[in-house]
Structure formats: structure tokens, C-alpha cells
């Protein structure tokens, strides 16, 4: 018993140290955990990159640019795919070590993709999760991410789907904490639909209430747990549009109904927003939160970013698979990181570093039923 107690104490200390680092002022998380399949589709769908083969070496070269950019002042962590966790630079330095040198914690995507259940999905990977988390920790990971994907229509998500995914997220989070990894809980409300603002708010409330109910039931310590939600906003196919102020107000309204104050932090997904809009929305969220919670002594949760496409899209186009473009790509990666670092303190000032031709949608339609991450 004493040995088990000591082990538990070590894990608790590790979790507390990791979450404090991830939630430091001005810090966010880069989501670079795309599966090989998702990254392959992204290459195919980007005209500048269609000539590239979706091979492990291509993916390694791309990840090297992201993971050797000088972004330690902006990123507390980077979420990696398990393939990347064991990869190295061309010179042989482990990516995990590259991140550590920059003061960035390595994290890892631990779910194994989506599994269809009728029109909806659950997430695979719980059966082997504990052993894999222990191995990932030994390989240098300090936090983890599990994604649920919830499809929205007039009748979806179903109650059963919401409950199943919330249960999986809670079980995952508990296992992670037992293995010393800070869990990022991601119940993504898929944006690829025509629902309006009111429906977005209703579904977000339904999902988050159930998630927090299940987290409590499984004894997950929210002080060392992070939430990665979608901002409350209309679907990408909706005629209804929402300003950054409307998104911020609706999102905080939902959080006030569903989140408890002991949650360590909220790290938003960018969910198809353009690079600029993701930054603007995050900035407005923090400005609105400062005003809303001033009388309570400050906002109860850190509101930051865990963006993927909104931190990578223009860099990926700039790369074109050419080694001579690497330095320009690293510089652009840093510019995007700095803009979002400022936004998570409500201190972003335009112009945005995203190129003028990058205003087109970053919505991807293959992230629901295909099993891609």
C-alpha cells in the first residue's frame, strides 16, 4: 500500500507540474497530431502540395519544421501523433528533445480514431489505453488528447451518442491521470452542418453537461484536466453568421452553465475557422471573460488555444515540400504563435500574420465518419 501511495504521489506531482506549465500566462498548445490519413488528405487538398507522396519521411520533414520553430515563448505544449513521438530531425535529434530544449511539453493523441454507430460515431482505443499511456510517458509525453466527434442536425446528436462519448472521455481522462498524463478532453461539435447559433448553444450545453457529469462520476481531478471544446457558433453551411462578440458571449454563457471553477483550463479547437478568425475570436473571448468575471476576482479558467489548422495552414502552403523554404516557414509559424499568444491574454492587435490569400475556409469534411483524426 505504501508503495502504491508513493507512486500515486509521484503521479500527482507530475500532473500538477505539467498542468502549471501548460496553463502558464501567454501559452497555448499546438495540435500537430494529425493521423497519416488526415495529413495525406490535407496534402492532396492543397494545390501547392499535391505532388508530395504521403510517406513517413514527408510527414517527418513537415513535423520537423513545426517542432524546430522557436515557439517556446508561445506554446506550453505540442500534441503529437504517436508516429511523431519517436521521430527525429534529419540530424538525428529526437523531436521530444527539440521540444524540451524550447521549454515545450510533448503530448500525444491517444485515441485510435472514430468508429461509426449508425449515423454517429464513438472513439476507439480504451482497451489498450493504460499500457499505451505508460509507454508514452516513458517516451517523454506529459499530456494526452482524446477526441470525440459529435454530428449535429435537428435530431442529432442522439442522447445515447452523447452519453457514450462522455463516458469514453471520462474513462480516458481517469486512466491518463493514473499514468501521470494530463488529459485533454475534446468533445468536438462538428461544424460541417447548417445549424444556427441557438442549436449550437443547445448542443454544446447538452454535451458539456454530460461530459462534466461523467468526469465527476469517474473521480477525474479537474485541477489537472483540460477541456478542448468548439466555440459556440453556427455551422459552416448555415446562412446565419455570428460576430466574434456574439461567439464569445454565447460560449461563456454555456461555460457558466456547464463548467466548474476547478477545471484547470480551456484550450479551444479552431474547427475550420480561418487563421485570422480563430485569433480574433480567442481574443474577444478573453476580453469578454475579463469583463464578465471581474467582480469574481478574475476568470475561473484559463482560456487559450489548441489550434491545428489555424496554426499550420499558411505554413504548410509556404513549405511546398521544399527544404529551402524551411526557415521562412519557421518564421511564419512563430508569427502565428505570437498572435495567438497575445489573444489568450486579450492583447492581440492586428494586422494578422496570415497571408492575404489565406481567408478561405479551413473547414474539412473528412473528419467525421472516416476515422481520421
Q: Show which residues are catalytic.
A: 186, 228
Q: Cα–Cα distance between 353 and 338 in angstroms, integer?
A: 9
Q: Is the C-alpha dihedral spanning 281, 163, 371, 129 positive or negative?
A: positive
DSSP structure string for 257-320: HH--TT--EEEE--TT--HHHHHHHHHHHHHHHHHHTGGGTS-SSEEEE--SHHHHHHHHHHHT
According to DSSP, the residues that pair with 77 across neighbouring strands are: 29, 105
**Is-contact 314 332, C-beta < 8 A?**
yes
CA–CA gap between residue 312 and residue 306 (Å, rounded): 12
Query: How far is residue 372's CA from residue 149's CA, in Å, rounded to a whole number?
Result: 11
User: What does the DSSP assignment read for 183-247?
Assistant: EEEEEEE---S---HHHHHHHHHHHHHHHHHHHHHTT--GGG-EE-PPPS---TT-S----HHHH
Amino acid at each position: 500500500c505504501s508503495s502504491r501511495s508513493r507512486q500515486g504521489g509521484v503521479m500527482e506531482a507530475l500532473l500538477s507540474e505539467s498542468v502549471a506549465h501548460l496553463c502558464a500566462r501567454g501559452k497555448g498548445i499546438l495540435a500537430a497530431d494529425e493521423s497519416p490519413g488526415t495529413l495525406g488528405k490535407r496534402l492532396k487538398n492543397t494545390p501547392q502540395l499535391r505532388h508530395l507522396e504521403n510517406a513517413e519521411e514527408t510527414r517527418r520533414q513537415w513535423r520537423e519544421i513545426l517542432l524546430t520553430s522557436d515557439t517556446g515563448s508561445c506554446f506550453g505544449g505540442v500534441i503529437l501523433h504517436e508516429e511523431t513521438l519517436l521521430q527525429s530531425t534529419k540530424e538525428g535529434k529526437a523531436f521530444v528533445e527539440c521540444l524540451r530544449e524550447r521549454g515545450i511539453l510533448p503530448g500525444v493523441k491517444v485515441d485510435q480514431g472514430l468508429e461509426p454507430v449508425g449515423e454517429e460515431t464513438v472513439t476507439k482505443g480504451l482497451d489498450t489505453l493504460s499500457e499505451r499511456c505508460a509507454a508514452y510517458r516513458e517516451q517523454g509525453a506529459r499530456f494526452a488528447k482524446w477526441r470525440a466527434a459529435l454530428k449535429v442536425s435537428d435530431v442529432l446528436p442522439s442522447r445515447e451518442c452523447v452519453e457514450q462519448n462522455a463516458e469514453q472521455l471520462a474513462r480516458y481522462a481517469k486512466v491518463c491521470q493514473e499514468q501521470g498524463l494530463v488529459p485533454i478532453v475534446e468533445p468536438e461539435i462538428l461544424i460541417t452542418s447548417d445549424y444556427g447559433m441557438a442549436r449550437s448553444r443547445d448542443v454544446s450545453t447538452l454535451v458539456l453537461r454530460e461530459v462534466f457529469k461523467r468526469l465527476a462520476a469517474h473521480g477525474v481531478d479537474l485541477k489537472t484536466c483540460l477541456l478542448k471544446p468548439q466555440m459556440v457558433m453556427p455551422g459552416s453551411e448555415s446562412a446565419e453568421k455570428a460576430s466574434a462578440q456574439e461567439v464569445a458571449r454565447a460560449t461563456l454563457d454555456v461555460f457558466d452553465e456547464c463548467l466548474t471553477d476547478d477545471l484547470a483550463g480551456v484550450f479551444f479547437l479552431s474547427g475550420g475557422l480561418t487563421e485570422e478568425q480563430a485569433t480574433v475570436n480567442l481574443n474577444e473571448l478573453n476580453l469578454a471573460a475579463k469583463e464578465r468575471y471581474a467582480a469574481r476576482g478574475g476568470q475561473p479558467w484559463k482560456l487559450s488555444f489548441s489550434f491545428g489548422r489555424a496554426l499550420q495552414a499558411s505554413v504548410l502552403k509556404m513549405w511546398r515540400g521544399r527544404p529551402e523554404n524551411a526557415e521562412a516557414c519557421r518564421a511564419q509559424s512563430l508569427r502565428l504563435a505570437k498572435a495567438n499568444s497575445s489573444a489568450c491574454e486579450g492583447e492581440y492587435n492586428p494586422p494578422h500574420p496570415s497571408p492575404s490569400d489565406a481567408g478561405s475556409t479551413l473547414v474539412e469534411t473528412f473528419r467525421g465518419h472516416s476515422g481520421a483524426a
